[in-house]
Amino acid sequence: MLLASPVQQLPEPFETPWNRAIPRIVEPPTGVKLSVPEGFEVNIFAEGLLNPRRMALAPNGDVFVTESLYGEIVLLRDGDGDGIAEYRETFATELDRPFGLVFSEGFLYVANNNAVVRFPYARGQVRAQGAPEHIVDLPVSSDALDHDTAERLGIDISRTRGFNHWTRNLIFGPDGNKMYISVGSATNVMPGSDVRRAAINEYNTDGSGHRVFAGGLRNPVPLEFYPESSTLWTAVHERDHLGDELAPDYVTSVVDGGFYGWPYAYTGPNPEPVLNGARPDLVEQTIIPDVLLPAHAAPMGLAFYTGARFPATYRNNAFVALRGSINRLDLVGYSVVHIPFENGKPSGPPEDFLTGFIIRNDQEKEVWGRPVDVIQIEDGSLLVSDDAGNRIFRIWYR
């Protein structure tokens, strides 16, 4: 949903109880098909992966994927152009929850949970040569994933490391001189002392010159610049425990020096009730985000479409991967949505683009996939990673 006046149309805090509903991950039922708009098709690009999360397109067209909870980066190659990756190689191992990936100036930069590192990269290279070079330390998240949650999500906890806002993403500015890194909060709504958290941070490319580019962002995950512009966009996981419909997750442009509310406010100047009126100055400064999403939908991936394979109406529009809710009674998300843009700004509400992962949404919640990232590849199709079903899907227009 996109609301013209988000502040006036939100429910009251605690209007509905806070619920927790973690779905069971199941195998796709026989004959099940994902739904996409008329004229589009979906096929499996790769399967049998281990917790595939972020993806990045290498200069030669290879697709690099972080298997985050297993500490690995995998390379996928569709050498014959049939839309299916027939070649797979493990590029790097023994990393600390790698997430963000960027190719730049002969290097592959990796945003681990604890630091940004880089590997030398030559076009077509399939394995890292030696240990990575350390660029800059990042705040560390080490909260353990409990066994019950791990079992429901189908994760082998014996091979994983910490949880809870541990993702770190990165992107280079349009001129290549600055590096932007997103770091989520350490808590749900309790203020912290590390200014790098709940923020998008700016660095020089060697890791020096840190400053907070924008703050008050509880868990900003994807980072993308709007095509042919210097406007940075992100998607944010908002807070829990205020009810099923609060607070809305969102997609927004990011203003240099802007403050987006966390933890003192949400969706503009709506005070966080748990904090009892703290920091009214920051509540007043809170920027209203551009596009609201359902509360707890968990936006993880963002891509602006610049290819020629989709109809022209999709050009420069946004696609957002919603990993799906666990903190509300009825499941929402588990999909990819399309947000139309015009002249660099959202021009309509989010629309379902890829759906069909939810099997049961009654008392017995079941899903067979959770979209995490979405990227455009060389042939103009989109790839969508699924860290629950351990697949990558390809969406193309026939």
Asked if residue 115 lies in contact with residue 95, where contact means CB atoms within 8 angstroms, the answer is no
Q: What is the pLDDT of residue 162?
A: 39
The answer, yes or no, to whether residue 159 has pLDDT greater than 50, is no
The pLDDT of residue 202: 99
- Is 3 a residue whose pLDDT tops 80? no
Burial track 83-105 (b if 16+ CB lie within 10 A, e otherwise): bebeeeeebbeebbbbbbbbbee
Q: Which of 10-19, 94-103, 307-316, 387-396 is least confident?
A: 10-19
Amino acid code (one letter) for 94? E
Which has the closest alpha carbon to 98: 126, 119, 125?
119
pTM: 0.93
Helix, strand, coil percentages, rounded to 5, for the chain: 5, 40, 55
Sequence length of the chain is 398
Q: What's the average model confidence in pLDDT over 373-378?
A: 99
C-alpha distances in Å from residue 314, one per residue of 4, 235, 294? 22, 19, 22
Domain parsing of the chain, residue ranges = 6-397
| Segment 181-224, tens digit of pLDDT | 999 999 899 888 899 999 999 999 999 999 999 999 999 999 99
Q: What is the dihedral of CA 121, 127, 131, 132, to 10 degrees?
A: 40
Output DSSP code: residue 67: E
Of 237, 240, 242, 189, the closest CA to residue 12 belongs to 242
What single string gives the DSSP state of each residue in 143-195?
Answer: BPPPHHHHHHHT--GGG---BSS--EEEEE-TTSSEEEEEE--SSSS---S-T
3.40.50.150, 2.120.10.30, 3.40.1410.10, 1.10.4100.10: CATH of 6-397: 2.120.10.30
Mean pLDDT of 166-194: 95
Do the Cβ atoms of 24 and 365 come closer than 8 Å? yes
CA distance 286 to 270: 9
User: DSSP assignment of 82-96, as one string?
Assistant: SSS--EEEEEE-S-S
**What's the average model confidence in pLDDT over 377-386?**
98
